[in-house]
Amino acid sequence: MGELSDTLDDLFTRLEAAFESQRHFVANASHELRTPLAAERTVLQVALADPDASAESLRAACQQLLQLGQQQERLIDTLLTLASSQRGLRSRESFDLADVTARVTDGRRPEAARLGVRVETRLAPAIATGDASLAESLVDNAIRHNVADGQVQVTVATPGGRPCLSIANTGPVIPPGEVGRLLEPFQQLDGERTRHDGGHGLGLAIISAVASAHGAGLTVRARPEGGLDVTVMFWPIPREAAKAT
C-alpha cells in the first residue's frame, strides 16, 4: 500500500505539472503571437490598399510575411521547449553529453559562421541521465543567442564524477544583480518583452527549466567583459543502471 501510495502521488504530481505547463504554453502563445499576427495583417492591408502596387512592392510584402512567419515558428518551437521542460521528464535515459554537444555544435556551425560567431569545444565523454533532446537546447541557446563576431566556448567534463556542461558566451555586459531576473521567462536586459531582433527573453529561462527538470545544478555568472558563464551539473547514470546496460 505504501508503494502504491507513492506511485499515485508521483503520478498526480506529474499530471499537475503537465496541466500547468499546458496552461502556461497556451497563455504565453496567445500573448506573444499577437504582435507578429498584427504585423502580418498590417503588411497585407498596406499592400492591398495601394492602388499603384507593383510586382516589386508585392514581392517585398511577401518577403516581410515570410520573415514574420519564421519568427512565429521560432517562437512556437521555443515555447514548446519551455513547456516540455517545465512539465518535467516522463522518463530518463542515459546519453553522452559530449555526443549531444557535438551534434548541436556541428549542426549550428554554418549559421554561426554566417554570423561571425566562433565556436570552440572541449569535449570528454560524460554519461548523464535524462532527456537528450532537452539537453540539446542548452547548447543550441548558447549559439543562437549571441552577438555578431562573438564567441562560444563549450566544455564537457566530469569533475567529481558528475557530467558537467560549461558554456562561456559573449554578449552585452550584464549587471550581476540582473542575472536572477533574466532566468525568468520573457525577461530582457533592457526591460522589453520582445526585441527587434526577434528575441523573446526565453533563452536563459529554457536553460533554467531544463536544468530543473533534470535535477541538475545550475550556475550562471555575468562575465565582466560581457556575456555569461553557464554551468550545468548533471547526475551520472547510477551504478546499478550502468551494470544493467
pLDDT per position as a tens digit, 206-235: 788 888 888 889 899 998 888 889 999 998
The span from the CA of 160 to the CA of 158, in Å, is 6
Task: Identify the pLDDT of residue 194.
Answer: 46
The span from the CA of 243 to the CA of 245, in Å, is 5
Write out the H or E segment, with its range, that includes residue 44.
helix 34-49
Locate 50 and state its grid cell.
Answer: 495601394
pLDDT per position as a tens digit, 117-145: 889 999 999 999 888 888 888 787 777 77
- Collapsed DSSP state (helix, strand, coil) of residue 172: coil
The span from the CA of 244 to the CA of 7, in Å, is 23
Name which of 77, 67, 58 is nearest 136 in CA terms.
77
Q: Which amino acid is at 18?
A: A
Name which of 193, 197, 173 is nearest 185 in CA terms.
193
Rg of the chain in Å (alpha carbons): 21
In what side-by-side order are the strands of the sheet with 118-123?
118-123, 151-157, 164-169, 228-233, 217-222
The span from the CA of 146 to the CA of 163, in Å, is 25
The pLDDT-based confidence of 182 (bands split at 50, 70, 90) is: confident
pLDDT above 70 for 20: no
Q: Which amino acid is at 56?
A: E
**Mean pLDDT for the chain overall:** 78
Domains, the chain, with CATH or none: 2-87 (1.10.287), 93-244 (3.30.565.10)
User: Is the pTM for the entire model greater than 0.85?
Assistant: no
